[in-house]
Amino acid sequence: MVDHASSSVFIFGTRSALLWGNIVGFSIFVTGFSRSYNTPTAQTYRSTCRLMSGAGIIALSAFSASSDPPLRKLNAPDYLVPDHSSPLSKTESTGVSILFPHQHNFTTHTQRKKVHCDGKADSVRQFRSMSTGKEKVAIIGSGNWGSAIAKIIGYNVRRNPEVFDPEVRMWMYEEDYEGQKLSQVFNTTHQNPKYLPGITIDSSVVAVPDLVESVKDATVLVFVIPHQFLKRTCATIKAHLPSNAKAISLIKGVDLNETGPVLLSSIIRDNLSVDVSVLMGANIANEVAKDMFSEATIGYSNRKNADLYVTLFNTPTFRCEPIEDIAGVEICGALKNVVALAAGFSDGMGYPGNTKAAILRIGLLEMKKFAQHFFQGVKTETFFESCGLADLFVTCTEGRNRKCAEAFAKTGKTFKELEVEMLNGQMLQGTGTAEEVDRILVNLNLTKEYPLMHVVYEISFKGKPVTVLVESDYGTQRYWEERYTKEKRETFEWYQDYHSLIPNIRPIIEPYQSAAQRLRILNLGCGNSLFGEQLFLDGFGSVINVDFSAAVIAAMNKRKEAKIKEYRDSEEREGIHEAWSHPEDIEYQVMDVTDMSYAPNSFDIVIEKGTMDALLCSEDPHAATAMCLEACRVLKPGGLFIVITYGIPERRLCYLQDEKLRWRVIQQTDFPGYCATDNEPATLDYMYVMRKNEKAD
């Protein structure tokens, strides 16, 4: 059958198993089993054909063989083994190798010289990955986002059987769930009840707790793990991948070395020697999993692979747009989580929408500046794709980094504690990225160039109060002294003036008025507002106005003396309020509202307008609580504390309902607030009313 003369390779098999070829570096002769070399069928087989499923061929080596007609020469020796064989090394001498698909029960005998196993599997891996001609997908990670994207991948793998192998393996870190292994629960129910409850994932996705086993034969690697584990993961799987593998990273984060930031895609590329793309975008995992419409951006350097990823990820409700800018797309995905922490801090402190809008604007500028400073070729338009502005917006309004940062500001708990309580132990991406980015900025003396990112790190890790986030000094005595010293206006109203507010306040105060006894009212943080003066003029009782700025108290006392003099000097007193005949009923005193000198149970009503909002800008995170404690202390039993603020209930009740306070909230009201123009929608202001317990201190 074979005359050992020339160097060639024979591959034998049935017609169904013999579509072979197109292997880089090889020229292969193909013939049918038990067929004459001169038949038309055999001539058809003498070609380089596309490798197809079902061909489990065993070895290629250098051979001496001849036939009639002549067979094509093997251009480069290599070694291909089936999935359950060991890699083979070069033969020690020439010989004949007749190769069969391993699933067929052929008994043809051939003589083969001894071969060795040298443990090098590069070509073996290449052959295996090509054994079906289809892309085999492995998902590395199975958390909230990993499980959500697995649903999309499973859907598209089933929809494109000509492109993808029907099984998708998803590496799942093994852990217990209600007495069972989580991977077993997933493979039984096709749901991840711990990290994505209630969402069914296509049965083509199989959870595999062994990392190496999960990537076996995979040609497409989808990375969805916390970036802190990336290097370790790459080291584990490196020797077990086919040489034509490629990867796409959905990981949001950044690494660093001595010269600056390192893209996570670069870590994958350098460690695995594969082409790497990235996918980022405005993708809240739970919303994507529920098929709510969203977009994503694929950053690529290889257009062919980008097109494959569009096929893998694109659905009617998850639209993917490729752009040739890996660095820009990836940096957007990493840094937006740092900005989201700032947005969450702002929400936790009850700052208004204007503050969050400023955070988003500053954050986007710092993201763009950072990306273009450290990476060449980053496109400005990338920041207006889904991975940029859109992702930043949704992460700063709905993302879990924002939610945890809000809880951090409200509760004082550490992020580690919040990860356990709110994320089932999953790690936040924003905190790790903030730490790594700040290390870069400090090393390169760039902290002043990126003030928002630097302050997020200091709040998260250095114990700085959340209030340092805003560049406002409203909570400092120094600011108000300087402001009121330079103030050219005699009076100024924060939020709304008295006449706008009194329709909401009068029904609350009037039931407490008595002909026999005038109310004692304390106005906290009066500034140069006329609010306290108007309460006095309307006859609600005696009003004491306090502020810690000596400058403004001096100015308001000067105004009071002028009003008294005007009343006394006027004969007709037309237009001058009769209340000025009793000037003792209005006072202005210098006092710190967090530490007042009044005796307990001294006032019937305590009221403040915007003072809590200012205190929440101070460096003392407990200042607002301290003011509430003092207000409660000086109130008489049954007395009222009235707070007028821009803070919504979720941002203010955490202070007003502190367990140390001996009162209860009896009313909360919102009403249209300030608007700059007639065409601008009014903001909302809020009023909270607390009644002190009747039992005396």
- The candidate with the shortest Cα–Cα distance to 651, out of 406, 450, 424, is 406
Q: What is the pLDDT of residue 134?
A: 95
- The candidate with the shortest Cα–Cα distance to 522, out of 624, 577, 602, is 602
The answer to whether 336 and 383 are in contact (CB under 8 A) is no
CA dist 312 and 48 (Å) reads: 29
- The candidate with the shortest Cα–Cα distance to 598, out of 481, 520, 507, is 520
Q: What is the pLDDT of residue 26?
A: 37
User: HSE on the CB side for 471, CA within 13 Å?
Assistant: 5
Between 122 and 230, the more confident residue is 230
Q: What is the pLDDT of residue 164?
A: 98
The answer to whether 200 and 191 are in contact (CB under 8 A) is yes
- The candidate with the shortest Cα–Cα distance to 364, out of 344, 335, 343, 341, is 335
Q: In what order do the strands lie in the sheet with 603-609?
A: 586-590, 541-547, 519-524, 603-609, 635-645, 684-692, 663-672
Q: Output the six-digit token pair for 43.
A: 């001539």
| SS3 of residue 687 by DSSP | strand
Q: Given a cut of 90, is residue 56 above it in pLDDT?
A: no
Q: Could you tell me which residues come within 8 angstroms of residue 589 by beta carbon, excluding any fewer than 6 positions away? A: 544, 545, 546, 553
Same domain, residue pair 293 and 342: no
Same domain, residue pair 552 and 616: yes
Q: What is the pLDDT of residue 691?
A: 97
Same domain, residue pair 261 and 211: yes
Q: Given a cut of 70, is residue 108 above it in pLDDT?
A: no
Between 313 and 8, the more confident residue is 313
| Structural domain includes residue 175 | yes
pLDDT band at 18 (very low <50, low <70, confident <90, very high): very low
The answer to whether 245 and 218 are in contact (CB under 8 A) is yes
The answer to whether 694 and 637 are in contact (CB under 8 A) is yes
Same domain, residue pair 128 and 146: no
Domain limit, last residue, from 469, 495, 529: 469
Q: Given a cut of 80, is residue 215 above it in pLDDT?
A: yes
Between 115 and 662, the more confident residue is 662
Q: Given a cut of 70, is residue 451 above it in pLDDT?
A: yes
pLDDT band at 677 (very low <50, low <70, confident <90, very high): very low
Q: Could you tell me which residues come within 8 angstroms of residue 279 by beta carbon, excluding any fewer than 6 positions away? A: 248, 249, 250, 296, 297, 298, 299, 309, 313, 320
CA dist 294 and 390 (Å) reads: 10
Tally of CB atoms within 10 A around 682:
12
User: φ, ψ for residue 257 (rounded to 5)?
Assistant: -135, -165
CA dist 97 and 65 (Å) reads: 9
Q: What is the pLDDT of residue 696?
A: 52
The answer to whether 633 and 665 are in contact (CB under 8 A) is no
Tally of CB atoms within 10 A around 48:
15
Check 216, 336, 368, 609 and give the catalytic one: 336
Q: Find the CATH number of the domain harbouring 248.
A: 3.40.50.720
Q: What is the pLDDT of residue 573?
A: 59
CA dist 466 and 619 (Å) reads: 8
| Structural domain includes residue 381 | yes
Which of 41-55, 307-321, 575-589 has the highest average model confidence (pLDDT)?
A: 307-321
Residue indicated by tokens 């409700």: 317
Alpha-helical runs (H) found in 83-121:
none
Q: Could you tell me which residues come within 8 angstroms of residue 398 by beta carbon, excluding any fewer than 6 positions away? A: 284
Q: How, if at all, do strands 603-609 and 663-672 pair?
A: unpaired
Q: Given a cut of 60, is residue 510 above it in pLDDT?
A: yes
CA dist 203 and 525 (Å) reads: 63
Q: What is the pLDDT of residue 673?
A: 64
- The candidate with the shortest Cα–Cα distance to 365, out of 449, 434, 433, is 449
What letter would DSSP give residue 196? Answer: B
Query: pLDDT tens-digit profile of 192-204?
Result: 999 999 999 999 9
pLDDT band at 25 (very low <50, low <70, confident <90, very high): very low
Q: What is the pLDDT of residue 621?
A: 64
Q: Average pLDDT, whole number, for the chain?
A: 81
Percent of the chain at pLDDT exceeding 90: 59
CA dist 363 and 335 (Å) reads: 8
pLDDT band at 494 (very low <50, low <70, confident <90, very high): confident
Structural domain including 607 reads 478-692
Q: Given a cut of 80, is residue 39 above it in pLDDT?
A: no
| Structural domain includes residue 221 | yes
Same domain, residue pair 129 and 149: no
Q: Could you tell me which residues come within 8 angstroms of residue 156 by beta carbon, excluding any fewer than 6 positions away? A: 164, 311, 312, 313, 314, 315
| Structural domain includes residue 307 | yes
Q: Which of 25-29, 230-234, 548-552 has the lowest mean pLDDT?
A: 25-29
Concerning whether 336 is annotated as a catalytic residue, the answer is yes
| Structural domain includes residue 158 | yes
Q: What is the mean pLDDT of residues 113-119?
A: 37
Query: pLDDT tens-digit profile of 550-606?
Result: 999 999 999 999 999 988 887 665 666 888 989 999 999 999 999 999 999 999 999
Q: What is the pLDDT of residue 429?
A: 85
Count up the domains in the chain and report the number.
4
CA dihedral 624, 627, 632, 635 (to 10 degrees): -140
CA dist 646 and 355 (Å) reads: 12
Domain limit, last residue, from 451, 469, 487: 469
Q: What is the pLDDT of residue 411?
A: 87
Q: What is the mean pLDDT of residues 408-415?
A: 89
Q: Is the dihedral of CA 642, 648, 653, 656 positive or negative?
A: negative
Same domain, residue pair 463 and 482: no
Residue indicated by tokens 């099984």: 167
Same domain, residue pair 122 and 141: no
CA dist 270 and 255 (Å) reads: 13
Q: Given a cut of 50, is residue 23 above it in pLDDT?
A: no
Q: Find the CATH number of the domain harbouring 595.
A: 3.40.50.150
Q: Find the CATH number of the domain harbouring 428.
A: 1.10.1040.10
Same domain, residue pair 13 and 152: no
**CA 533 from centre of chain:** 49
Q: Output the six-digit token pair for 54.
A: 């079902």
Same domain, residue pair 120 and 167: no
Q: What is the pLDDT of residue 515?
A: 63
Q: How, if at all, do strands 137-140 and 168-171 pair?
A: parallel
Rounded to 5°, the CA angle 405-410-411 comes to 100
Rounded to 5°, the CA angle 391-396-398 comes to 90
CA dist 403 and 422 (Å) reads: 9
Same domain, residue pair 364 and 279: no
Query: pLDDT tens-digit profile of 248-268?
Result: 999 988 888 878 899 999 999
User: φ, ψ for residue 687 (rounded to 5)?
Assistant: -125, 130
Q: What is the pLDDT of residue 613?
A: 86
| Structural domain includes residue 208 | yes
| Structural domain includes residue 329 | no
Q: What is the pLDDT of residue 495?
A: 76
Max Cα separation, the chain?
137
User: HSE on the CB side for 643, CA within 13 Å?
Assistant: 28
Q: What is the pLDDT of residue 498?
A: 92
Same domain, residue pair 416 and 548: no
* Cis previous bond, 621, omega within 30: no
Domain limit, last residue, from 302, 324, 346: 324
Query: pLDDT tens-digit profile of 165-201?
Result: 999 999 999 999 999 999 999 999 999 999 999 999 9
Q: What is the mean pLDDT of residues 489-503?
A: 88
| SS3 of residue 330 by DSSP | helix
| Structural domain includes residue 697 | no
Same domain, residue pair 521 and 588: yes
Q: Is the dihedral of CA 339, 358, 382, 136 positive or negative?
A: positive
- DSSP per residue, 633-668: HHEEEEEEEEEEES--HHHHHHHHT-TT--EEEEEE
Q: Given a cut of 90, is residue 119 above it in pLDDT?
A: no
- The candidate with the shortest Cα–Cα distance to 249, out of 315, 326, 310, 308, is 326
